[in-house]
Amino acid sequence: MFNNFENYLEFCNYLKKSVNNSTYLKLKNSTLYSYNSKYYLCINISNINFTTFKLIHCSIVEFGTHITNSDLFERKLIEYGNIIFKTNAINNCVKHFNNK
C-alpha cells in the first residue's frame, strides 16, 4: 500500500534502478489499484530466489506498507477498487510518468 501516487512513482523508479533486468521482467505480473485514496500494488512473483524477494520486499516497505492477509485483500480490491494499471504496473508507471 502506498499513501499517495508520488510514493508509488518513487518506488517504481527506485526499483527500476536497483534490480537487474531479468528480475525486473519477472515483475510483469503486477496490478495497481486505487482504493479509499490509497494505492495498492499486487505482485504475483514466481521463480524468484529469496535474495531477490527480500530486495523487492525491502524496497516496498521503504516507500509503502506491506498488507497482511493479502489474498483476501486483493479480492476486495478486485471488487471495489479502481484499476490504474491492469498488467505490468511497475514498468508502465516508469514508462508513462518517466520520473527522475
Tens of pLDDT, residue by residue over 39-82, are 999 988 777 788 878 888 888 899 999 887 778 899 999 999 99
User: 12 CB contacts (<8 Å, ≥6 apart)?
Assistant: 90, 93, 94, 97, 99
In this prediction the pTM is: 0.87
21 is written with which cell numbers?
A: 533486468
Q: Please, what is the angle between helix 5-18 and helix 89-97, to 10°?
A: 100
Q: Answer whether 94's CB lies under 8 Å from 16's CB.
A: yes
CATH number of the CATH domain containing 79: 3.30.70.1950
String of DSSP letters for 48-65 = --HHHHHHHHHHHHHHS-
Host domain of residue 52: 5-97
Q: Is the dihedral of CA 77, 80, 81, 83 positive or negative?
A: positive
Give percent of the chain with pLDDT exceeding 70: 97
Number of domains in the chain: 1
